[in-house]
Amino acid sequence: MQLKPKFLSALQTLGIAVLALLAQAWLMPSVAKASRFQPVNGVTTFEAEFTVGGRSRRVLYLRPVANPTGLAPAIVVLHYAGGNSEEMANLIELGQLVRDTGVWAILPNSRGRNWAFDPVRDRSGLDDVGLITRIIDNAVAAYPIDARRVYMTGFSSGGFMTQRYVCEHPERVAAAAYVSSTLLDSLRKVCKPSLPTPIIGMHGNRDAKVSYKKRLGLSSAPGTALFFARLNRCLTPPLRSKLPNLANDGTTVLLDSYDSCASPQPVRFYTIDGGGHTWPGNHYQLGFTGRTSQDIDATRVIWNFVRNYSR
């Protein structure tokens, strides 16, 4: 039986749609997700909503139960594509960090579970930069948070968004960190920050979702670190060191330290040798690909870096 042209066209359209859905699914963890924050003793959570561009956005806050003697630092945490604020907090054990250090954690939710991180090619119409700015300004005005000690970090899509925000609003972020994200060529062309920012990056060299190596439209992971080092006027090559191999998990960690910076704002870059598209130190695979290194705890490493800086 010969199929009619209209029927063939419909089949082709359906096939394209299915392929698009499969590609989208590949970019996101394919697991049943926890929809609630896993409670941590000594930590209180609450939510707020912000409307930006006519669209409502939800924000999760984690704060220590114990009242600080003065203004507290805060860290803005941006989730991965397909995730949300609760899942991100659980993944990186953010509640334990809040409990142990007294930092406030602020976790915005993206629209459609992804961030508008491309300053040139994004067609979503979402103003995520404006959203984050408004959230930071509101937190400083409404809560006992020190405007000079606001930090930012993100994983995968959230890491791309962190890089964009550092390029556009460094005056609101005292230090930043990104995990499993590299520099977009489109962002490189327009990234002209008014201030240098201390920044830390981490990337597995076996990452199958965001390549460690240079790809069309993206810098390599080491090249991304070098870009930020040059922004900070780090004039000499990094000092490379190999960290202790604490866990028999098939990974090791190399640290590139850019310290000779005229700004002076240092840059750190961790290569997870053998690591995949994961957050180092977490104990939940959550459908991400590749090995998760237990040689470092990314959450604590990031905090121990950023907490040294203020604006």
CATH number of the domain residue 68 falls in = 3.40.50.1820
pLDDT for res 178: 98
Q: Tell whether 9 is covered by a domain.
A: no
**Number of structural domains the chain divides into:** 1
Give the closest residue to 176 by CA, choosing from 149, 156, 157: 149
Domain range spanning residue 289? 34-306
- CA 99 to chain centroid, in Å, comes to 21
In tens, the pLDDT along 187-197 reads 999 999 999 99
- Cα dihedral sign, 195-200-205-206: negative
Q: Tell whether 166 is covered by a domain.
A: yes
Q: Tell whether 13 is covered by a domain.
A: no
Residues 109, 286: Cα–Cα separation, whole Å? 18
pLDDT of 280 above 60? yes
In tens, the pLDDT along 205-243 reads 999 999 999 999 999 999 999 999 999 999 899 999 999
Q: Tell whether 104 is covered by a domain.
A: yes
For residue 285, name the pLDDT band (cuts at 50, 70, 90): low
